Amino acid sequence: MHKSAPLLVTCLFGLSLSGCASITGSGHSPADEETATQSHQNPENNNGEIPTEYADFEPETLFLLLSAEIAAQRGRYDVTLVNYLKAAKQSRDTKVIERAMHIAQSLNGDNAQKQIAQLWLEVEPNNLQALRVSAIQAVKRNQLETALGYMEKILDQGEDADFDSLAVMAGNLPPKQQQELLNLYEEMASRHPDTPELEYSIALLLKITGAPKTALSRLKPLLTAQPNFVPAIILKGDLLYQVGRETEALEHLMINTRRFPASRQMGTLYGRMLISEGELQAAQDEFSRLTERYPDNSGIRLSHALVALENGELDLAKEELTQLIEEGHHTSEASYYLGRIEDEAGNTEQAIGYYQSVEKGNYYFPSLARASALLAAEGKLDEALEDIRAKRNANPEQAEKFWLLEVNLLLDQKLQSEALEAASNAIEEHPENLQIRYARAMLFDTLNYPRKAEADLKRIVENDPKNAVALNALGYILTTRTDRLGEARGYIEQALKLDPENPAILDSMGWVLFQEGQIEPALNYLSQAWAAYPDPEVAAHYGEALWMSGAEEQAQVIWKKGLEQDADHEALRETIERLTHNGEL
């Protein structure tokens, strides 16, 4: 601190206090603090200029400010905020209030922001920042009408009221509040007609509340009056796609990304839409254009890399992913996909290196799983297991995921007994983990312990009655392992109600009906299962039902298609040999 000032402390939040006053004029830089202090002591400075004026503080307020600054220097920002809040209330000085708000926002102190904004509006009823903060805090408390009251005051001043920001936030509100907000917006629009931001926000809320066609209708007059309103142009493309007008949506965005090439949001939406439609080369071209325009945007670069990967342009994908890692952006995703590239190229050592460099995020466990599988394929199963167990011990809060990883690795190596032992040890530690219990149930079934499998599956269903996968597995095991067909069908029917288009459940329903002798209804379900998922096991069931119905040639066609996928499929081979006697088609 400069010795000539009675009190001069630099705030860690980038603002400053001087002497016995706060800045009431335009402010000054830290380099000017000594001059400002001398001007306070001398009515005229050396240049004969009028000095900056300061408002006097009461000693108690000054002490609070000093204590707040010292607390900030010591990292006690909670104390800093409390003291600034008290000082703002005591002094009602706008600069202290403004600084208190800055600190509260830095610390995400919602309650403090609410109090400071209320105080600020008492001092300056039309202050825009205070009105905006008050609106945001009202939304967070679900006081929607109050929030819009603040926003309308901003609108009345001819300023941007951020109606669109509030509409976006509505996506996190319950449906009832979303509808309430929409109604309030429409009421405000009647008081403020021809307000583009408000009309756009209503269309956005209509989309959020599940009325995309109405939203499109609302946008039409807005875009007629404001043809260059970019947010509305983007929303129209999104809505067209949502209502099933994909070609129109793509054409709309193609035209407008050329009209507004600087719109990153529009270009990104167009690129992602092209990916969804399978137009991968066009998507790559779009992301290439965006990457050139926004070279520092890591999200766009990642999208460019991934679509290049899908297009088989591995060198380009590697270049973009490597750059992301070098710049420290999206390193987990980039490392994972670089691992995949090396993995598919047969470069096992490099692939393992990339996978193992992923240390957090959504790609951590997929990377660890693949690295472990590659190590096992290289004859280093023990090393892979030791690594998984060491990580499990080091991260007990994620132990269940590591247990699943170990069980699946052992299963991939066809070590069912070892996998069963691992699953049982995991359940001992985590008896409520339904994923591990389901894995154990499947192992019990594979190793011919149907009663134990049934017990595990029933435990899952008791804890999660809407678990369609477990209900189906329970019904299927009872169908194939017992004569309790009525009970089995009951479980499968429950599963089918929960997931009516699941081909595995359709297959189970067809098979239990076939076992009950209901061949025609069975064929209905089995044909649906085959159409949705023509795998060898479904081929075995569907073919047998056809054979028994007298459609032997059709059955042989289905079996042949199943064998094309897996010529050694045990269940399919057994079915063919049992029914055709010589096992030939």
Q: What is the pLDDT of residues 556-575, one digit of tens each?
A: 999 999 999 999 999 999 99
Q: Is residue 540 part of a domain?
A: yes
Global pTM?
0.73
| Residue found by looking up tokens 């992602």 in the block | 272
Helix extents (H) in 395-484: 399-412, 416-429, 434-446, 450-463, 468-481
**Residue 468 domain flag:** no
In a domain, 550, yes or no: yes
Pick the residue with more confidence: 164 or 106?
Answer: 106
428: three-class secondary structure by DSSP? helix
430 pLDDT higher than 60: yes
Average pLDDT (486-491) is: 97
Query: Confidence band (pLDDT; 50, 70, 90) for 46?
Result: very low
Query: In the predicted model, is pLDDT for residue 578 greater than 80?
Result: yes
Mean pLDDT of the chain: 88
Q: What is the pLDDT of residue 9?
A: 33
- Mind listing the pLDDT tens digit for each residue in 148-199? 888 888 888 888 777 888 788 878 888 888 888 888 889 888 888 888 888 9
Predicted local confidence at residue 547, as pLDDT: 96
Identify the three-state secondary structure at position 54. strand
More confident of the two residues 544 and 140 = 544
How many Cβ atoms from other residues are within 10 Å of residue 413's Cβ? Answer: 16
Query: Which residue range is the domain that position 579 belongs to?
Result: 534-585
Three-class SS of residue 361?
Answer: coil
Question: Is 272 a member of any domain?
Answer: no
Longest Cα–Cα distance in the chain: 115
Enter the DSSP assignment of 44. Answer: S
For 192-250, what is each residue's pLDDT tens digit? 888 888 899 999 999 999 999 999 999 999 999 999 999 999 999 999 999 999 999 99
Would you say residue 285 lies in a domain? Answer: no
**What pLDDT, on the 0 to 100 scale, is given for residue 585?**
67
CA dihedral 267, 269, 271, 272 (to 10 degrees): 160
Of the candidate ranges 76-85, 376-385, 501-510, 523-532, the one whose mean pLDDT is the lowest: 76-85
Does residue 426 register a pLDDT over 90?
A: yes
Name the pLDDT band for 11 (thresholds 50, 70, 90): very low
Q: How far apart are CA 324 and CA 305, in angstroms?
A: 10
CA 514, CA 523: separation in Å to the nearest integer? 8
Predicted confidence band of residue 298 (pLDDT cuts 50, 70, 90): very high
Q: What is the mean pLDDT of residues 372-376?
A: 97
pLDDT of residue 55: 53
Instruction: Please report whether residue 237 resides in a domain.
Output: no
411 contacts 403 by C-beta, under 8 angstroms: no
- For residue 583, being part of any structural domain is answered with yes
For the purposes of burial, counting CB atoms within 10 Å of the CB of 57, is it exposed (0-12), middle (13-18) or buried (19 or more)? buried
Amino acid letter at 232?
Answer: A
For residue 57, tell me if it sits in a domain: no
Ranges assigned E (strand) in 49-139: 54-56
**Range with top average pLDDT, 97-101, 115-119, 384-388, 581-585:** 384-388
Instruction: Compute the average pLDDT of residues 126-132.
Output: 90
* Burial group, residue 559, by CB count within 10 angstroms (0-12, 13-18, 19+): buried
Q: Report the number of distinct structural domains present in the chain.
A: 1
